[in-house]
């Protein structure tokens, strides 16, 4: 990655000042959790990242492999950056027990009555988080800039060269599950993440490389007096996600073989799952929630939903009810564009959506 030299001076702030402003700006802008990390810092799970690349578990996603040094150290591209702000927004209030059917990939005898949106990951049933969350983060940043006019910050969600889950853990937003997801002990893992490198030099944060015990802001009240998140994982001996994954994508001790993940097959590979493995896709149309749906942390989150509710933009779009699975098989490119342009489903392109629908139809016919 090219080094961008900018004459940007750091701004000295205290963690208490930042916390006070986040406490005001996050709820106003529907951000559910926020924190900060001092840059540069050590990546604790650097080895996990390297093994993904060296063992070829990155599903052939070239955007993951470019510029490894830059990905591990954002200050190479942004030498002016002193901290990384991390933001999270819920897209679902957990997964109730038993929710994984019918997208579980098992027999789907009620194929005729299952809305096709039940076969889509929850994160992708409404509007696109790249628009919603990013706008919300930008509003928080604008609010911070009113306080600190010299603030430089480049918010991004998903698309930047940042290991967002690692930073979210470092910033105290949650812990990392065996399924590699960032899990908040009360909100579960139905969370989007976004980050912003900034020139805020924040006094009072844990030293660079030391994970924070708590986020700076959370929509939930503290549950425990002694924060428990500093350990990387709180999965204990639980292996539910490992056992439930129909394609064995989650490794025996945690971590993901992305090339076996249904999410990669249906989103990134656009319906081009290996022909001999298509039956493993079962009734899943787009994305996959199984490793999250079976997670006890998510089932607990669903049982005790927190207020305020999840942003309604992430709920199933009413227009989706106008069509069924069979229509997706024949959706024209124009109709795909019209229906899905501002949704996460856009990512798999029209041909990918038709291919995914074809795999589901074939699997349902076989199972039925």
> Is residue 193 close enough to count as binding ligand B12 by CB under 6 A?
yes
Q: How far is the CB of 45 from ligand B12 (least distance, A)?
A: 3
Nearer to ligand B12, 241 or 364 (CB): 241
Q: How far is the CB of 10 from ligand B12 (least distance, A)?
A: 25
Q: How far is the CB of 146 from ligand B12 (least distance, A)?
A: 26
> Is residue 261 close enough to count as binding ligand B12 by CB under 6 A?
yes
Q: How far is the CB of 149 from ligand B12 (least distance, A)?
A: 28
Q: Which stretch binds ligand B12 (CB under 6 A): 104-112, 261-269, 330-338, 357-365?
A: 261-269
Among this protein's residues, is 5 annotated catalytic? no
Size of interface with ligand B12, in residues (CB under 6 A): 41
Q: Report in angstroms the alpha-carbon separations of 244 from 34, 140, 292, 293, 360.
A: 31, 38, 10, 9, 19
> Which 138-157 residues touch ligand B12, going by CB under 6 A?
157
Looking at 13, 181, 273, 353, which residue binds ligand B12 (CB under 6 A)?
A: 181
Q: Which stretch binds ligand B12 (CB under 6 A): 5-13, 20-28, 251-259, 296-304?
A: 251-259
> Is residue 191 close enough to count as binding ligand B12 by CB under 6 A?
yes
Nearer to ligand B12, 10 or 115 (CB): 115
Residue 177: φ, ψ to 5° = -80, 170
> Is residue 162 close enough to count as binding ligand B12 by CB under 6 A?
yes
Q: How far is the CB of 43 from ligand B12 (least distance, A)?
A: 6
Nearer to ligand B12, 13 or 355 (CB): 355
Looking at 10, 15, 19, 49, which residue binds ligand B12 (CB under 6 A)?
A: 49
Question: What's the chain's length in residues?
Answer: 368
Decide: 319 and 237 in contact? Cβ < 8 Å: no
Kindly name the residue from 158, 248, 327, 334 that is annotated as catalytic. Answer: 158
Q: Supply 173's token pair.
A: 């937003």
Looking at 21, 30, 119, 165, which residue binds ligand B12 (CB under 6 A)?
A: 165
> Is residue 158 close enough to count as binding ligand B12 by CB under 6 A?
yes
Decide: 333 and 350 in contact? Cβ < 8 Å: yes
> Would you state the torsion angle of the CA atoms of residues 24, 25, 31, 35, taken in this order, to the nearest 10 degrees?
-80
Nearer to ligand B12, 164 or 280 (CB): 164
- The whole-angstrom separation of Cα 244 and Cα 292 is 10
**Residue span 14-43 as binding mask against ligand B12, x where in contact by CB under 6 A, dash where not:** ------------------------------
Looking at 128, 136, 280, 289, which residue binds ligand B12 (CB under 6 A)?
A: 289
Active site residues: 158
- By the criterion CB under 6 A, which residues form the site for ligand B12? 45, 48-49, 52, 59, 61, 64, 121, 123, 157-158, 162-166, 176, 178-182, 189, 191-193, 232-233, 254-256, 258, 261, 263-264, 267-268, 287-289, 291
């Amino acid at each position: 990655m090219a080094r961008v030299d900018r004459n940007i001076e750091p701004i000295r702030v205290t963690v208490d000042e930042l916390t006070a402003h986040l406490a005001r700006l996050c709820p106003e802008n529907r951000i559910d959790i926020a924190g900060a990390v001092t840059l540069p810092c050590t990546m604790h799970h650097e080895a996990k990242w390297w093994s993904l690349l060296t063992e070829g578990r990155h599903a052939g996603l070239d955007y993951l492999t470019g510029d490894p040094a830059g990905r591990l150290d954002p200050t190479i591209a942004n030498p002016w950056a002193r901290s990384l702000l991390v933001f999270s927004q819920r897209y679902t209030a957990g997964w109730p027990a038993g929710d994984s059917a019918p997208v579980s990939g098992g027999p789907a005898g009620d194929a005729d009555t299952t809305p096709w949106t039940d076969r889509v990951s929850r994160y992708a049933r409404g509007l696109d988080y790249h628009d919603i969350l990013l706008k919300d983060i930008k509003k928080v940043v604008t609010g911070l800039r009113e306080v600190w006019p010299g603030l430089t910050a480049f918010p991004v969600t998903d698309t930047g060269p940042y290991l967002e889950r690692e930073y979210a853990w470092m910033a105290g937003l949650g812990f990392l599950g065996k399924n590699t997801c960032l899990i908040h002990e009360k909100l579960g893992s139905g969370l989007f993440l976004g980050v912003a490198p900034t020139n805020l030099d924040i006094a009072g944060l844990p030293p660079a490389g030391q994970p924070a015990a708590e986020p700076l802001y959370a929509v939930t009240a503290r549950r425990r007096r002694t924060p428990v998140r500093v350990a990387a994982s709180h999965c204990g001996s639980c292996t539910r996600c490992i056992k439930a994954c129909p394609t064995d994508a989650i490794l025996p001790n945690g971590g993901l073989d992305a090339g076996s993940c249904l999410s990669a097959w249906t989103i990134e590979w656009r319906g081009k799952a290996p022909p001999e493995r298509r039956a493993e896709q079962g009734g899943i149309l787009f994305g996959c929630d199984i490793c999250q749906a079976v997670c006890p942390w998510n089932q607990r989150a669903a049982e005790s939903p927190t207020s305020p509710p999840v942003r309604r933009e992430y709920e199933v779009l009413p227009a989706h009810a106008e069509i069924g699975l069979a229509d997706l098989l024949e959706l024209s490119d124009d109709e795909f564009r019209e229906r899905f342009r501002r949704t996460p489903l856009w990512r798999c392109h029209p041909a990918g959506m038709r291919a995914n629908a074809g795999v589901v139809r074939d699997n349902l016919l076989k199972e039925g």
